[in-house]
Amino acid sequence: MLPSMRLLRANVDYAALNAQLAPLALADFLRWSTITFGERLVQVTSFGPTGVVILDHLVKINPDVAVTTIDTGFLFPETYALWETVERRYDIRLTVIRPELTPQEQERFVGPMLWELEPDVCCHERKVKPMAAAVAGQHAWITGLRRDQSGARSQTPLVAWDA
């Protein structure tokens, strides 16, 4: 299963590129990605199984690859433990992006349990805006979206333009 890549430029024939890349094995796709984008490639991971597999392959291809995670402030203790294990195992230091407000500040300014009252606002503030910061200045980013996870994701291309 190949990851999904978002390119941050529009002047590409994505249908042709996806057709060309579709037969590649994961390691070959990631090798192409690192050669094509070099230092302007970043992997964004939330430490799900697919993201960790991608990270494992990427660091074998390029030990200096940029890897970023978003700390929403609401991660489970197990996620923080896995994060620490990943950094130790691969001898890397992830770039961490956090929302503008801590969970405590958010509660003070907006009220408690925003994720229940206004889930779209909560996700925008704690995930979407930090993600934009995580990929700013990059030419491409890789994520662990899987086509088999939902109907909406079933048509996710390997490579797409992220407006």
Q: What is the pLDDT of residues 77-114, one digit of tens each?
A: 999 999 999 999 999 999 999 999 999 999 898 888 88
Name the residue type at position 49. Answer: P
Q: For 4-152, CATH number?
A: 3.40.50.620
Task: List strand residue ranges (DSSP E) for the chain, in order.
Answer: 4-7, 41-44, 66-70, 95-97, 140-143, 159-161
**pTM score over 0.85:** no
Q: What are phi and psi of 96, to 5 degrees?
A: -110, 125
Beta strand 4-7 with 140-143 is: antiparallel
